[in-house]
Structure 1
Amino acid sequence: MATAELAATYAALILADDNVEITADKIVALTTAASVELEPIWASLLAKALEGKNIKELLSNVGAGGGAPVAGAPAAGGAAAAAGGEAPAAEEKKEEEKEESDDDMGFGLFD
């Protein structure tokens, strides 16, 4: 990551830590005070991306996401098992019938 990008990120973190609203002007002011040249467009893009977000909450919940889709998959399997376990057998029969129907066309690939 470039120095200017890191400086802008650190500036946003400093502002969030001080409970100050994150704006492009404040990011540019902090990076200028740190003797880092930052184009104003990058400061405004970062400020717009962080607008309305609670940075402290985002940082404290970094590893908290991602568990919900995995929890849903076993529930679907459990529902099939509760139905008597016949769902997988029905799927196998459908696959077999599909394969057999391809052979009944009356011609082969190399005939």
Structure 2
Amino acid sequence: MASTSELACIHSALILHDVEVTVTEDKLNALIKTAGVTIEPFWPNQFAKALANINVNSLICNVGAGSSAPAAAAVVSTAALVAAEEKKEEKKEEESEESDNDIGFGPFD
């Protein structure tokens, strides 16, 4: 499972890609700092180096095709893990809200 540091870097890299800004270590660190997330300091450097010569859009769009399949599969599987974690958190929040609202004074109690 991806660590908080990895997830912060992934999200930051995707944000930078979405606004068409080159992914660099400084920009990743700035986004992560703005988000208030504490990470292990080597991750932004690793992500910046890994994405330096890669077309992120092509990587995302060509999952499972050609020679970039292993790298694309890694990015997509990490994204799937992120989505699964978000769903788990949402489900936990919904369950806690439901349990907070039920105080035992219903018509069938």
Under a length normalisation based on structure 2, what TM-score does the superposition of the two structures give?
0.56
Output aligned runs, 1:91-110, within 5 Å: none
5+ residue gaps, structure 2, are 68-109
SS in 1 for 2:32: helix
The two structures, once aligned, show a CA RMSD in angstroms of 1.4
Show CA shifts across 1:30-74 (max 9, x none). Answer: 1111111123321011100110211011000012237xxxxxxxx
Instruction: Select the structure of larger CA radius of gyration.
Output: 1
Aligned to 1:2: 3
5+ residue gaps, structure 1, are 67-111
* One-letter identity of the residue aligned with 1:23: T
Aligned to 2:101: none
**Equivalent residues of 1:28, 1:38 under 8 A apart:** no
- The percentage of aligned residue pairs carrying the same residue is 47
- In 2, the alpha carbon distance for the partners of 1:9 and 1:40 equals 14
Aligned to 1:73: none
Under a length normalisation based on structure 1, what TM-score does the superposition of the two structures give?
0.55
- In 1, the alpha carbon distance for the partners of 2:38 and 2:29 equals 9
**Moved beyond 3 Å, runs of 4+:** none
Show CA shifts across 1:71-98 (max 9, x none). Answer: xxxxxxxxxxxxxxxxxxxxxxxxxxxx
Output aligned runs, 1:19-58, within 5 Å: 19-58=20-59
Q: Which shows bigger deviation, 31-40 or 12-21? A: 31-40
* One-letter identity of the residue aligned with 2:58: E
Aligned to 1:61: 62
User: How many residues align structurally?
Assistant: 66
Bigger relative contact order (CA 8 A; separation at least 6)? 2
- In 1, the alpha carbon distance for the partners of 2:30 and 2:41 equals 10
